[in-house]
A and B are shown apart, each in its own frame.
Chain A
Amino acid sequence: MSSGQAIFTDGPGTAPRRPGLFSRMWKQRADYLYVLPAIIVMLIVIGYPIYYTIDLSFSRTPTTLKLSDKTFVGLQNYVAILTSPNFWKVTWQTLVWTVLSTIFAFGLGLGAALSLHREFAGRAFMRGLLLIPWVISAVAASYVWKWLYHSDFGAIGALMVQIGVTDEPINFIDNTRTSLYALIVVNVWKEFSFAMIMLMAGLQTVPESLLRAAQVDGANAWQRFWHVTWPHLSGVSMVTILLLVVQNFNSFIIPFVMTGGGPAGSTHIWITHIYEIAFQRQNWGAGAAYAVILFILMMILGIFYVRALTRGDATRAGT
């Protein structure tokens, strides 16, 4: 505020007392009415379940979920899952699933966004086509790919034989070595266009004049991408990658519908594993303990996510 210029400052200098938090809250009570419905809904359907899950994770609960028979067991559930060999196997598979899905979805999305950035006839149509997998339900996608991968009548296996890649149709999803990767392909198919659409929006923020300037300065296409385009995309990329990681880590439908975690647990990831422990084996305590660990992991990711999302948001609210 001070301009560095000579400033006339003969007004009284004492600041009026800043009103306290509660009086400000009371003064602006009407503002809360706008957010109240949302907060109530969120509290009921989110606050309560989180409390409840934490409670369950420290207890042994009968398979009937009769809460009156619940007993406190301390950290027993946590110890049990962390020492189980399944824990590390599933965690490794989850990592492979999340990392590979994210890399490929982001890579294909970036390529698609760059190819579609230039104006040409049929661009909107192509964008629409590429977005269809993202729009349809994961259940539909799972069935379609299950049929494509079918061990006897699947189109992919038959095609590979016809063009001479293999002699026999490969059984992609009933094979513990290939099943996880086969599912990752489905996942990438389903979500790459999400990355594409985010990055297309990011590309619009790249100033055309900068690209021209770089071109005049003699930068080739790759140099222009690396020195001009990419720095403008980094913010959007951050948000996109975070969202993909969260989404992939939390995947359920594709493995659940396509393989149910099999064969031999080779496609179990955290969420399907939690579902199996809790709902199929009715081991509520262990399931809840898994969920609590997941909460913590997600909270850490969430801090980055919220930071990335709200960056530059800094209260524009004027009144």
Chain B
Amino acid sequence: MSSMTHTEQLSVRSRRQIDGWRWTGRIFLAILLIFTVVPIAWMFITSLKTGFAAMQYPPQWWPAAPTLENYTRLLDTRDSVGQDFLRYFFNSMYVSVLTTILAILVAVPAAYAFSRFSFPGRTFLFFAVLMRNMFPAVVFLVPLFILMRVLGLVNTHGSLILTYLTFGLPLAIWLLKGFYDNIPIQLEQAARIDGATRFQAFFFIVMPLSTPGIIATAIYSFIGAWNEYIYAYTFLTRQDQMTLPVGIQRFFSENATDWPGLMAATFMMSVPVVVLFLVLQKYFVRALTEGAVKS
């Protein structure tokens, strides 16, 4: 379809037909873009308003007097609002980064084994790992809460990290396995003949080649942990421990909803994941689709 020489051979009628489909596609895309972008734009526009400007009917489609005051307040360490917001932000960062590191450390060897070895029970274990994705978070809440009590992890970030790890693992293992499946096994065989142990072959040859997969898996784990809400909402009761998704909620429902402030906080909360995602988009997209595409 992309070839011009081909299009040239076609009759005028079918060329018109192709143009018709192309235009349908463009119009569809335009509508979809509006649907996608307008809510995000409105979040940003609202965050530039004062509380008074936001509460008007009909709304100001663009703020008459745009202000950054909502943002400066969130980042102000002398203001109690800013102190809380920054603490939530760093809590979220701490939990997400640690979850990501641990997920990679655990998922890499597991994915490699599932891709390369044929030990008895391999298929069963792989299915069991994938099955984990089927269960909603809520049904694990009570037992996990009790488990955390037994492990002495209630009201610690450890409880969240351990939980997020199990959430992220199945997908991380699956994504990474897709990458390892695509690395020719001959490379390791060559390395082993060249004098490497199995582990050395993995570490010196396979690991460096799977870096894009590891990056993708890391982003996925990070985004998953950063956005998680239910466990953070249940396991942490102390204000100073809370992560962003829970923190901003508590915080704004106390003093009747301050919509511009809430939108500014929501915007700030979305910035790290969106930036991370847009910068590393190609790894992410590739990894997610690797499994679906191969066959």
Interface residues of A (CB under 8 A from B): 21, 24-25, 28, 31-35, 37-39, 41-42, 44-46, 48-50, 52-53, 56, 65, 67, 108, 111-112, 114-116, 118-119, 124, 126-133, 135-141, 143-145, 147-148, 150, 152-153, 155, 158, 161-162, 169, 189, 193, 197-198, 200-202, 204-205, 208, 211-212, 215, 220-221, 235-236, 239-240, 246, 249-250, 252-253, 257, 271, 274-275, 278-279, 284, 287-288, 291, 294-295, 298-299, 301-302, 305-306, 309-313, 315-319
Docked pose: A44 CA to B138 CA in angstroms: 17
Q: Give B261-295 as 1s and 0s: 1 = Cβ < 8 Å from A's Cβ atoms.
A: 01100100110011001100100010011111111
Output the least CB separation between B213 and chain A (Å): 15
- Are A236 and B293 in contact, CB atoms less than 8 angstroms apart? yes
Output the least CB separation between B243 and chain A (Å): 10
Chain B residue nearest to A56 in the complex (CB): B142
Counting chain A CB atoms within 10 Å of each CB, the highest count among B17, B138, B274 belongs to B138
Chain B residue nearest to A145 in the complex (CB): B39
- Are A116 and B1 in contact, CB atoms less than 8 angstroms apart? no
Q: Which of B6, B37, B245 contacts A139 (CB 8 A)?
A: B245
20 more A-B residue pairs beyond the given contacts A127-B285, A169-B57, A319-B118, with a C-beta to C-beta distance below 8 A: A21-B120, A34-B117, A39-B110, A42-B132, A45-B147, A46-B166, A49-B139, A112-B32, A119-B2, A135-B270, A135-B277, A144-B263, A147-B43, A198-B289, A201-B288, A235-B295, A257-B229, A284-B142, A298-B135, A316-B115
Docked pose: A274 CA to B120 CA in angstroms: 38
- Are A317 and B106 in contact, CB atoms less than 8 angstroms apart? no
Docked pose: A24 CA to B121 CA in angstroms: 11
In the complex with contacts A198-B292, A294-B136, A315-B118, A147-B259 CB distance below 8 A: yes
List 21 A-B pairs, Cβ < 8 Å.
Answer: A38-B109, A39-B125, A44-B147, A45-B166, A48-B143, A65-B142, A131-B277, A144-B39, A153-B259, A155-B42, A162-B58, A200-B289, A205-B293, A221-B17, A271-B139, A278-B141, A279-B234, A291-B138, A294-B135, A301-B134, A319-B118
Closest 10 A-B residue pairs measured CB to CB?
A: A201-B289, A137-B227, A250-B136, A49-B143, A34-B113, A115-B25, A52-B143, A38-B110, A291-B139, A34-B109
In the complex with contacts A45-B162, A221-B21, A298-B134, A198-B57 CB distance below 8 A: no
Chain A residue nearest to B226 in the complex (CB): A137
Docked pose: A40 CA to B61 CA in angstroms: 54
- Are B36 and A37 in contact, CB atoms less than 8 angstroms apart? no
Asked if B144 CB lies within 8 Å of chain A CBs, one says: yes
Chain B residue nearest to A61 in the complex (CB): B142
Output the least CB separation between A166 and chain B (Å): 13
Asked if B190 CB lies within 8 Å of chain A CBs, one says: no
Output the least CB separation between A302 and chain B (Å): 4
Docked pose: A252 CA to B135 CA in angstroms: 12
Count of chain B residues with Cβ under 8 Å from any Cβ of A? Answer: 107
Docked pose: A219 CA to B218 CA in angstroms: 44
Docked pose: A5 CA to B54 CA in angstroms: 84
Contacts of A155 in B (CB 8 A): 42, 59
Output the least CB separation between A95 and chain B (Å): 16
Output the least CB separation between A136 and chain B (Å): 4
Q: Which of A34, A41, A299 contacts B131 (CB 8 A)?
A: A299
In the complex with contacts A197-B289, A271-B136, A35-B6 CB distance below 8 A: no
Q: Give B150-162 as 1s and 0s: 1 = Cβ < 8 Å from A's Cβ atoms.
A: 0000000000001
- Are A37 and B269 in contact, CB atoms less than 8 angstroms apart? no
Contacts of A44 in B (CB 8 A): 147
Chain B residue nearest to A158 in the complex (CB): B58
- Are B17 and A220 in contact, CB atoms less than 8 angstroms apart? yes
- Are A317 and B226 in contact, CB atoms less than 8 angstroms apart? no
Output the least CB separation between A226 and chain B (Å): 13
In the complex with contacts A35-B114, A129-B33, A189-B35, A202-B131 CB distance below 8 A: no
Contacts of A124 in B (CB 8 A): 281
Chain A residue nearest to B132 in the complex (CB): A46
Docked pose: A291 CA to B142 CA in angstroms: 11
Docked pose: A56 CA to B141 CA in angstroms: 13
Docked pose: A41 CA to B102 CA in angstroms: 11
- Are B274 and A211 in contact, CB atoms less than 8 angstroms apart? no
